[in-house]
Structure 1
Amino acid sequence: MHWYDHDVSGWGYVWMGFGMVLFWGLLITGFALALRYLFRTDSDRGLRPAPPGAEHVLAERFARGEIDAQEYADRLAVLRTTAPQ
């Protein structure tokens, strides 16, 4: 009662080894990607700070001395009275 071709042959061991490496590789890669997703920072998420507004740019120019106090006050008044379009 000898049955043939029911045991794992040489190629069966090769495919079994390949499957094991593939399984563990996918498992480790999935775990690493999950950790990377959970612990990413805002800069990794593509969130960028909003560009500075007109009042901020005007205040920076005044702080650098490019404009004087009167010009700063005039331009700031114009910015605050006109509605954004």
Structure 2
Amino acid sequence: MMFNQHAGMGADWLVLTLILFAALLVAAVTLLINRPAADRRRTGPEQVLADRFAHGDIDAEEYQSKLRELRDQRP
């Protein structure tokens, strides 16, 4: 009869392990779905130019001039 008293402990650890695994799985999927926007952002030449303008590397006149050049080069 002593055997039956300890049989439940293994099942308790199994349930706890499965719950922990499920929580980690949910966290991993959530992190993959909610990646920062910088990871999903397109990095074409217009975006690079916009980033340089936003950081103050170029002024508005130079931004507009270069943007026109980029758009004129499109087929």
Query: Shorter chain as normaliser: what TM range?
Result: 0.3 to 0.5
**With structure 1 as the length reference, what TM-score do the two structures score?**
0.44
- Higher relative helix content: 2
**With structure 2 as the length reference, what TM-score do the two structures score?**
0.46
